[in-house]
Amino acid sequence: MNDKRILILDYSVDKIEADAIARWLPVDAEVSILFIDTEESFSDNLLEDDFTHVIHSGSSLSITEEAPFTEKAVKFIREARDHGIAQFGICYGHQLVCLAFVGGNSVRSSPKGLEVGWGRVTFTEHARKLFCVDAKETIWQSHFDEVTEMPEGSILLATNSHSEIQAYINREQKIIGTQFHPEFDKESGDKNFLDEREMLERNNFDVDEIVGKSPTIDAGNIFFGYFHDEF
């Protein structure tokens, strides 16, 4: 029997992240989902539920603007770390974790604007050994904001020309953070781009060109598998 108790904190405004993430988790793990949009929605007693792993989702919210739940989220992230709970932050969640551990100087709106599409990232030698990936891979991207400083003791896993910190790991604090979104495969990723066609075209992106590209790795199995197997 799987003794992992995994909590997905879904910060997405349209509540699409939880299902996209949950399908990559072990079928015999106990998975709980909490949608976070207000201060009240962030329970004060989450640590009493003995979760072994927490996943902080992406969101269309900007990390540069304080949300109603930001203070509670920061407090929970720090306390979860202190209780030895493994945490995985994706895009907004990745930025939120760094905000909690490093401070407001660690996140910003990207000076290069929106990064979106099936984007190329360069994996470090450390990441290539951990995940058996090539030096350059293509993964789902959609973000305006970025991380500029990792928690102390972290190791860079991936980078690209848009955002220097595309992914990192911190074994001591049991943290993985990715700017890219491993939860989206070709089918679900393209659907999201097509659903967002109007917004993307306003930002001068060619949606048909975007969906003409594809991921080069099975990112969901690779990153979520590593998270729940190794932490």
- Tens digits of per-residue pLDDT, 5-14? 999 999 999 9
- pLDDT of amino acid 2: 73
From 60, 175, 200, select the one nearest 118 (Cα to Cα): 200
Residue-range definition of the domain harbouring residue 184: 5-230
Give the CATH number for residue 93: 3.40.50.880
- The H-or-E segment that residue 27 falls in is none
Q: Is 91 known to be catalytic?
A: yes
Q: How far apart are CA 77 and CA 158, in angstroms?
A: 23
Residue of 53, 56, 143, 181 marked active site: 181
**How many domains does the chain contain in total?**
1
- Which residues does the chain have with pLDDT short of 70? 1
- Tens digits of per-residue pLDDT, 23-73? 999 999 999 999 999 999 998 889 999 999 999 999 999 999 999 999 999
- pLDDT of amino acid 43: 87
| b/e per residue 136-168 (b: at least 16 CB within 10 A) | ebbbbbbbbbbbebbbeebebbbbbebbebbbb
**Global confidence as pTM:** 0.97
- pLDDT of amino acid 150: 98
Q: Is 181 known to be catalytic?
A: yes
Q: Residue 132 has what DSSP assignment?
A: -
Residue of 91, 115, 196, 228 marked active site: 91
